[in-house]
Amino acid sequence: MKGFDNDHRIVLTLDAGGTNFRFNAVQDGKLLIPSIPLSAKAQTLDDVLATIRSGFEMVVSQLPEPPSAISFCFPGPADYEAGIIGDLENLPVFRGGVALGPYLEEVFGVPVFINNDGDLFTYGEAIGGILPEINEMLLKSGSPKKYRNLFGATFGTGFGGGIYSRGHLFSGDNSAQGEINRMHNKLYSGFSVEESVSIKGIKRVYMLHANITEEECPEPRDIYEIALGNMQGNKMAALKAFEELAVVAGNALADAITLVDGLVVLGGGLSGAYPLFLDRLVQEMNSAHQTMAGNRLERLEIKVFNLEDPKQLEEFISGEKRLITIPGTTKTISYDPLKRVGVAMSRLGTSEAIALGAWAFALQELNNI
């Protein structure tokens, strides 16, 4: 984790879900204690704030030294830079704008940084996961290529995203960067991509093709096993559910990468089913448009590789490197004309990547204060 090697400051972290809050602390890029889970359910805002305060106090009591900051992901909508949380669907006691960051700064006397999970997941994978792994492989192969940009996407309750570019987490002007969930759904006109790329999307498609009710519908983990033939159920419906996810997500990720031009890393609870959907997702990203003259126009200027496929990974790393001569001299320079990106699964695990990203973001921001 270049840039953080000699920084031993401790940062408190929180993984905030609609059901549970999980508290921890990170130092030197590692979790310091077993996570402390507390229920997120509460009748009033004061109850939730008391739970969050209590959770961080429990972590602090187990630390070898005081923390330097608090950094965590929290659901939106929010003004993350200001630390203000808006009206939340899963935590309805948050209404009208709640200054959560400033409140915790008053309580603990340290800077507080809040982001969404897609952002911190991406940051963690960028500094300690897929990005350094791929760059190390390229370096060892003698390739002149080096990747400095990463788009992270999480498949779970919803479809989240984050953007890392050349050493920094990209932040928009309205805390709405990387909101890939709002993109157009290729298969269902007028709907968002999240209707298909989510737990509810997998279950909806399975119910439709299996002709069953919501009460009868298995959870995505079981639908995955049904698709593999390991459990009783409607295999055709299960395969269809993950195919739709692949097509819709691939279409959205192609739009995102058109702008970002970097690697893609996937995480979240549904990402564990990647053997069923990743090939099809990459195929969708590599699809083509047509011109008005009837000619084929590649969807992307760059070729997309499935980095979980050993053969595609080998081709990706090898590229088309060659030596070319600098005009007017006898000197040569290494050149690789193959424009390419790859899609890979999380190397750290989603929760660990989020914690690492929260830690790194806090240290970077502290250095700018």
| pLDDT tens, residue by residue, 263-281 | 999 999 999 999 999 999 9
Residue-range domain boundaries for the chain: 11-115, 130-347
Strands 11-16 and 69-73: parallel
Q: What pLDDT, on the 0 to 100 scale, is given for residue 315?
A: 97
pLDDT at 167 over 70: yes
Q: Give yes or no for residue 3 having a pLDDT over 80.
A: no
Q: Is the pLDDT of residue 4 over 80?
A: no
How far, in whole angstroms, is CA 155 from its chain's centroid?
8
Same topology between domain 11-115 and domain 130-347: yes
Q: What is the pLDDT of residues 240-269, one digit of tens each?
A: 999 999 999 999 999 999 999 999 999 999
* Mean pLDDT within 206-229: 96
Identify residue 185 by its one-letter amino acid code: N
Would you state the structure tokens that stand for residue 126, as one six-digit string?
A: 């960028």
Backbone angles phi and psi of 350, in degrees to 5 = -60, -50
Indicate the CATH number for domain 130-347.
3.30.420.40
CA distance 336 to 292: 32
**pTM for the complete prediction?**
0.93
pLDDT in tens, 6-39: 789 999 999 887 678 999 999 999 999 999 999 9
Instruction: Give the pLDDT confidence of 101-135 residue by residue, as tens digits.
Output: 999 999 999 999 999 999 999 999 999 999 999 99
How much is the mean pLDDT over the chain? 94
Query: Which CATH architecture best describes the domain 11-115?
Result: 2-Layer Sandwich (3.30)
Q: What token pair was written down for 54?
A: 């209590």
